[in-house]
Structures are given as C-alpha cells and as structure tokens.
Amino acid sequence: MRRVLVLNGPNLGRLGSREPDVYGSTSYAGLVERCTALGKELGFEAEVRETNDEGEMIRWLHEAADGSIPVVINPGAFTHYSYAMRDAAAQRTAPLIEVHISNPYAREEFRHTSVIAAVASGTVAGFGIGSYELALRALAAEPTG
C-alpha cells in the first residue's frame, strides 16, 4: 500500500473548537479518521500529522522528498510567509497538494497569498474537511498515485 503524508500546520490540532463558523465542527481526531479511512479505500496508507513547529514541518517535507512520498499539506498560517517551507516543498519528488478548509480569498487580505502554491501540484480550498478528501482523490487519479 502506498504511503501518503497528510501534513497539518499550526492550530489545526484545535479543529472542532477553533472558530467552528470558519473551520467547521469536525475535530482533529475526526479529520484523522476521515483521511485514514478514505486513504484505505483509495489504496493509500494515509499518515496524518500535525505540528505548530515550522522546523518539524520542513523535516517532514524532506522525508517525503527523500522517499518520493505524495503529500497533502495544509500549512495553516505558514502558507502566507514561510519561504523555508516553500523551499522544502519545492524539493518534492512526488505530487504535493496544498489544501485549505476555508477559502482564503474570501477572508482577510493577508490570506490571499500562498508561498506554497507555486511549487504545489495543485490547491484545493473552501470545501471544509472535504478539501482533504478531494486532494486524496486527486492523488489516487495520478498515474503514479
């Protein structure tokens, strides 16, 4: 079974309690459950991780690049300013899909810029937790997925 890393940045571990009007009521545990279940259905071993630490996220991106592991990534606030994370994502050797639960373009102006998008295979945003499901399905549709 092919591995997929589902990487989550700062504050995503607080899903379900953090601004449910923006991020929905699904808990982080619920997100993990949905991603792992859909991953199995699609023939993936989806490994879901969350960190508030930029360095740890970069190490995970290096791990993915070194192992040619596809990535679904919600960088959280790192999306808008982490050039170090962008450079790590640019080293990808397998598809990398950026996801966002909300639609960044419908929110504050600072959220309209993603430093990750230019090095990602694609971006899925605005579909709630379903953004992760759409990204996993896109990976499954890849010839190498």
Q: Enumerate the active-site residues.
A: 23, 100
69 is in an annotated binding site: no
34 is in an annotated binding site: no
73 is in an annotated binding site: no
Both tokens assigned to 20: 């449910």
82 is in an annotated binding site: no
74 is in an annotated binding site: yes
CA 145 to the chain's CA centroid: 16
CA-closest candidate to residue 3, choices 74, 85, 66: 66
116 is in an annotated binding site: no
Distance separating alpha carbons of residues 16 and 106, to the nearest angstrom: 21
Which single residue is written with the structure tokens 């899925």?
A: 124
Distance separating alpha carbons of residues 142 and 115, to the nearest angstrom: 24
Which single residue is written with the structure tokens 């990534």?
A: 73
DSSP state of 7: E
Residues 6+ away with beta carbon under 8 Å from 35: 6, 46, 48, 72, 132, 133, 136
Binding site feature residues: 74, 80, 87, 101-102, 111
Binding site feature residues for substrate: 74, 80, 87, 101-102, 111
